[in-house]
Amino acid sequence: MPVNLLKLPFLVSGFVVTELDYQELFLLSKCSRRTYYLVEKARITVPKINFQFEKCDGYDTIVVKAGTDKGRFYITSVKHVSELDLEEVRNVEPGLDSETDKNIETWYEEEQSRYRNVTRFRHRIKRTSEPMAVQKETQDYINSIFHYSGTHNLDISMECEGPLPNIKNVKYLTIMDDAVDTQILTNVLEKYPDIRTLAVFSEIIGDIPNDSPLFQVQSLSVKPRCGPHFFHNFTGRNLWLICVTLTEQDIIQFLHKWIANEAYHNLETAIIRAEPTFRINQNLIRESIEFEEYDSEEPEKRPKSYISVDAPFFYYPSPRAREAYPLRNDEYVEIKRNTDGKRAFLAIYPGAVRFLVPKD
């Protein structure tokens, strides 16, 4: 038997609201002004709000998800369409306004969980209004019902053809799919000047100047093939390069500049993987620097481990995605900066270099 949620005492209705998932909270808030205030009054918050700008059925679409330490959870999505299907009669926000520029589509989809497949309800809002205005409206509304004032994560698919999303306070940005030319990359960095973390999964077309703001991003991850200038010109804190065309001399130059304090003053983490066909000559690099090997009889001379807190080494960053590197082993050698004695720990593998600088 259906129960009118609004006729229940707030203590009861508020408890019911807190048991809803993020998508259900969003849809409930859209039913009427009274349900909006009910959701708002419950003061449910989210750790992080994520926006994904992607293609759906040929249309640019913004997908909104709640980011938690357990993953990302669907809230809503908005598809920017040129016109609405008049056969669709489900109008969004019937109790809040009389706009006719939006419809909602619903469906069920299967998601694979750890032990079984789960069928989940999904919805999507279709809008014909100007996309930039709709995106701002969506962000403001989500922030309002979840009392959110923090930074936002934004994933941008290069398959989208419209202007860059009108999302404010973006600190973590991911570029995905197809390829991205250097001009678009510059436009992205100008559109979102406060980015702290940038992950590039798209092939980069064109040459990037040495003074590009790309190299000034505090945490940078690049998956496609790139050259050694990506780490030679980096001035940020955390760097992860997955496929670099390089030589041992490039690595030696990198280490010498850090030791002499000529560059990389703020560097904390650098993970550099060579292209698959190249094998690093570990002895050649070791012969070019002074270092101290691990002494198992005095393990306390080193930190137990190094934890990368802000490095963009994971596609969905969360507290669980902070990688810990044990340092009390023969894998790492210790090197020091000449000017101030700052320590770093270096591990050299046939296909990669790992360079870690503890803050202490």
Domain tally for the chain? 2
Q: Residue 350 falls within a domain, yes or no? A: yes
In a shared domain, residues 206 and 259: no
In a shared domain, residues 235 and 315: yes
Q: Residue 1 falls within a domain, yes or no? A: no
**Residue that terminates a domain, selected from 182, 217, 252:** 217
For residue 275, what are the β-bridge partners?
Answer: none
253 lies in which domain range? 226-356
**Residue that terminates a domain, selected from 217, 234, 249:** 217
Say which residues have a Cβ less than 8 Å from residue 311's Cβ, sequence separation at least 6. 219, 221, 238, 240, 268, 269, 271, 323
In a shared domain, residues 207 and 270: no
Q: Residue 44 falls within a domain, yes or no? A: yes
Q: Tokens in use for 283?
A: 């002895």
**Residue that terminates a domain, selected from 170, 199, 217:** 217
Q: Residue 2 falls within a domain, yes or no? A: no
Global pTM reads 0.87
In a shared domain, residues 35 and 153: yes
H-type alpha helices, 260-315: 282-286
In a shared domain, residues 61 and 17: yes
In a shared domain, residues 255 and 308: yes
How many residues in total does the chain contain? 360
In a shared domain, residues 63 and 182: yes
pLDDT tens by residue, the chain, 360 residues:
466 666 666 666 777 788 889 999 999 999 889 889 889 988 999 999 999 999 998 999 999 999 988 889 999 999 998 888 766 545 545 444 445 577 888 888 887 766 778 788 899 999 999 999 999 999 999 999 999 999 999 999 999 988 999 999 999 999 998 899 999 999 999 999 999 999 999 999 999 999 999 999 999 999 999 999 999 999 999 999 999 999 999 999 999 999 999 999 999 999 999 999 999 999 999 999 999 999 999 999 999 999 876 555 544 444 444 568 899 999 999 999 999 999 999 999 999 999 999 987
* Short-list 273, 242, 267, CA closest to 353: 273
Q: Residue 4 falls within a domain, yes or no? A: no
In a shared domain, residues 331 and 278: yes
Q: Residue 271 falls within a domain, yes or no? A: yes
In a shared domain, residues 238 and 296: yes
